[in-house]
Chain A
Amino acid sequence: MKVQDVLVGLFFIVIGVLMIDHAADLKPPRHLKFGPGFFPLLIGSGLILVGGVIALLGLRTLRTEPLWHRPEWSRTRQGWVRFCSIPAAIALYVLIVDAAGFLLTAVLVMVLVLTVSGEPLRRSVPAGAVTAVVLTAIFASVLHVPLPWGPLQTISGWLLW
């Protein structure tokens, strides 16, 4: 989604103002002349300055360019569903992996993304299962990453060595 440069400039100005506001609360320790807020203050000022110039230059094309330009994919519901499937899959993983375990969650993530892209369940479920088992073997067994098992804790010995 492309927005007009005035909005881009305003975005950086807002970030800069927020940084300066937060930096102002960071007091330097008594024995130091410069505190933790000094560097963020410089960066925030820079953001306001650069954002201001971008916004000012954007004003020149404000009448000829729309405030935002919708990309082609966002004109259909299917496009939005595809776009949202990636952050939604990550959110799903974060929310349920501790309770459901990595194996089941990985299968669900695979099924979610594959279903959105039009793949039938009879293919997406086995693909998800195989991927989950391979990833578990690589990360949990070889690299010793502590992946959660959830209700499948009892079968963890099959894939851990």
Chain B
Amino acid sequence: MVILTDVLGVLLDVHLLLVIVASAIYGLVLGAIPGLTALMATALLVPVVMFMEPVPAIAAIITSSAMAIFAGDIPGALMRMPGTPASAAYTDDAYSLTREGKAGLSLGAGLFSSVLGGLLSALVLTLAAPNLAELALQFSSVEYFWLAVLGLSCATFVGGSSLLKGVASLLFGLGLSTIGMDPVSGTPRFTFGVTNLLGGLGLIPLLIGVFAISELLRTVTHPATGGRHAQSAVGSVSAGMGRLMWRHRREVLRGSTLGTLVGALPGAGADIAAWISYAVTRRSQKGKDPNALDQKVERLVSAGAANNAALGGAYIPATVFGIPGDAITAIVISVMFLKGLNPGPTIFLNNPTAIYSIFAIFFIANLLMIPLGILCIRTFGLILKVPTAYLTPIILLFCIVGAFSVENTLFAVGIIAVVGLLGYFMEANDIPMAPAVLGLILGPVIEQTFMTSMLKSGGDVSVFFDRPLAIALAVVTLGSWALAGALKLVDAARARPVLT
């Protein structure tokens, strides 16, 4: 009871509330700009939060990152350009709803599922953090390997109509991820003497190229399509959302649970949580029309809930054991150490007020997302009134500066042009881009865990099957591949001669 009173005392501080509101607006704006990620928003906050008290400093990071992950849905739904990588999984569905004149439904479903996902993960974080973190701690490189492969498998299965082209795209993405220094020995690979390639291809410029530049290329070659942006209206974002969320409660709950669990596993963040949740929901829709409105909304709310839930999940190992769940919580841990809030089991004994205040801020930030999110959608909607001819070069400049600001090199700007053209030709040839993108994100994780496991075992592949957790993950992963292959063969047999 003493703690509850203390926590309420901290939360009712006007300074803290002002910090939360300001960082919420900041997170929404940065997340809504394609090319600027939740991670970048967090990184840019660090110099500012260094001058704050410990709880407001962590509150600013929690609020801005949660808002940025949701705000990434806005350009994804309105322009098919995910603001953050966490929104990439369901961008096509969200955008197709907008093309059907249901932008309000698309954005409202994204907003309210994000809020519910965030709230549910905050509840888990508060109540069950120690137990879940214990499970994650039992993972070795072998389990991480299987988890990453499972994530890749999901991306391939949801990639498109052709499983073969999905696998080819995945391998292509994995191949691109090998550019740079080898994670085990540090040997340069595929750099061809170019210094800029030593650090690998930057993820943000690649995402900007694949998703934004290729879309701009389609827009300028089909002016009529672009014109629809200007004619679309967002409509009501909140109307009927209570009923919609209740109708899709199973998907929201599934996405929130998956997101929290995936977020709690070190290395797997909001992006992977969204992809896995999206794939699971897609798989559950077997036999239904994937292009039907209800199915699109189901996938959207499931993945939308998952990516925001992953943020809360990532704080479980971060706060309880001091292990970052993702890059954002890695920054949080550094700030906590610098502020004297040493993360770990002892924080619950030494600083109970601070840690429970931090948990409570998750609830405040997610509830604040409703009014501020609607405001952000309305403000962003004004961009639709700008003629497409003017919108195209403005977005292009945002992409250029966004790529430059992340990498600080003109090389990154050149990359967006090359990757944009590649993405355009891939889509024109029915080669799904999503598996390539996830291959890029998870490639280094897979290689590092694979090589570490192989080196530990001296080349004996049985190391991947000698622990109960590893066997369970291996069965799920290999089973999903076998199932996907079998389903494709059945589909092909039904619809001959199309096999690929």
* A15 to B173 CA separation, bound complex (whole angstroms): 12
- If A12-B172, A85-B220 touch, whether A109 touches B167 (CB-CB below 8 Å) is no
A157 interface hit (Cβ, 8 Å): no
Bound-state Cα–Cα, A89 to B455, Å = 47
Give Cα distance in the complex from A39 to B401, angstroms.
34
8 Å CB contact of A51 from B44, B168, B223? B168
The answer on a CB contact under 8 Å between A50 and B171 is: yes
A67 lies within 8 A of chain B by Cβ:
no
A50-B220 in contact (CB<8A): no
**How many residues on chain B are close to A (CB under 8 Å)?**
57
Cβ-Cβ contact count across A and B, 8 Å cutoff: 170
Least distance between B464 CB and chain A CB atoms (Å) = 14
In the bound complex, residues from chain B placing their C-beta under 8 Å from that of A132 are 397
Are B221 and A139 in touch, CB under 8 angstroms? Answer: no
- Does A39 contact B447, Cβ atoms closer than 8 Å? yes
Query: Would you call A60 and B417 a contact (CB within 8 A)?
Result: no
How far is it, in angstroms, between the C-alpha of A94 and the C-alpha of B459 when the chains are bound? 46
Cβ–Cβ contact A145 & B172, under 8 A = no
Q: Is the CB of B165 within 8 A of A54?
A: yes
B417 touches A91 (CB 8 A): yes
A50 to B187, CA, bound (A): 28
In the complex, which residues 3-44 of chain A have their Cβ closer than 8 Å to any Cβ of chain B?
3, 5, 8, 12, 15-16, 19, 22-23, 26, 28-29, 32-40, 43-44
Chain A 138-155 interface mask (CB, 8 Å, partner B; 1/0): 010001111100000000
A1 to B440, CA, bound (A): 25
A3 CB to nearest B CB, Å: 6
Question: Are the C-beta atoms of B165 and A36 separated by less than 8 Å?
Answer: no
Q: How many residues of A are in contact with the other chain, CB < 8 A?
A: 71
- Cβ-defined contact, A113 with B459, below 8 A: no
- In the complex, are the beta carbons of A114 and B429 less than 8 A apart? no
Q: How far is the CB of A115 from chain B (nearest CB, A)?
A: 10
Assuming A8-B431, A90-B414, is B220 touching A82 (CB within 8 A)?
yes
* Residues from 404 to 423 in B contacting A, C-beta threshold 8 Å: 404-405, 408, 410, 413-414, 416-417, 420-421
Please give, as numbers and ranges, the residues of chain A lying within 8 Å of B420 by CB-CB distance. 86-87
B62 to chain A: closest CB distance in Å?
A: 20
Contacts of B398 in A (CB 8 A): 135
Shortest distance between the CB of B203 and any CB in chain A (Å):
18
A117-B221 CB under 8 A given contacts A54-B500, A71-B428: no
Residue B393, interface by CB 8 Å: yes
Q: Across the interface, do B404 and A145 meet the contact criterion of CB distance under 8 Å?
A: yes
- Are A43 and B175 neighbours in the complex by a CB distance under 8 Å? yes
Q: Which residues of B contact A98 (CB under 8 A)?
A: 410
Closest Cβ of chain A to B125, distance in Å, is 30
Chain B residues whose CB sits within 8 angstroms of the CB of A36 once the complex forms: 182, 184-185, 187, 189
A57 at the A/B interface (Cβ < 8 Å)? yes
Complex Cα distance, B253 from A156, in Å, reads 51
For B389, the closest partner residue in chain A by CB is A117
Known: A40-B175, A90-B416, A94-B414. A32 touches B392 (CB 8 A): no
Contact, CB under 8 Å: A15 / B396:
no
Q: CB distance A57 to B499 under 8 Å?
A: yes
- A-side contacts of B213, CB under 8 Å: 86, 90
Contact A86 B410 (CB under 8 A): no
- In the complex the two chains form, is A114's CB within 8 Å of B405's CB? no
Q: Which residue of B lies closest to A74 (CB)?
A: B221
A89 to B499 Cα, complex, angstroms: 40
Residues of A within 8 A of B405 (CB): 139, 143, 145
Q: How far is the CA of A147 from the CA of B174 in the complex (A)?
A: 32
Among A12, A37, A39, contact of B168 (Cβ-Cβ < 8 Å): A12
Does chain B have a CB within 8 A of A79?
yes
Residues in B whose Cβ lies below 8 Å from that of A110: 393-394, 397
Interface centre among B44, B171, B429, B454 (most CB of A within 10 A): B171
The 8 Å CB contact of B393, one of A1, A82, A87, A113, is A113
**Contact assessment for A147 and B401 in the assembled complex, using a CB-CB cutoff below 8 Å:** yes
Partner of A35, one of B185, B392, B416, B425: B185
Q: CB of B356 within 8 A of chain A?
A: no
Contacting B at CB under 8 A, from A111-144, are 112-114, 116-119, 127-128, 131-132, 135, 139, 143-144
Is residue A104 within 8 Å, beta carbon to beta carbon, of the partner chain? Answer: no
> Taking the complex as formed, is B133 at the interface, i.e. its CB lies under 8 A from any CB of chain A?
no
Quick one: closest A residue to B162, CB to CB? A54
Encode contact with A along B212-238: 1 for CB under 8 Å, 0 otherwise. Answer: 010011001111000000000000000
**Which 9 residue pairs across A and B have the least CB separation, nearest first?**
A36-B182, A113-B393, A73-B221, A90-B417, A145-B405, A36-B187, A117-B389, A82-B220, A110-B393
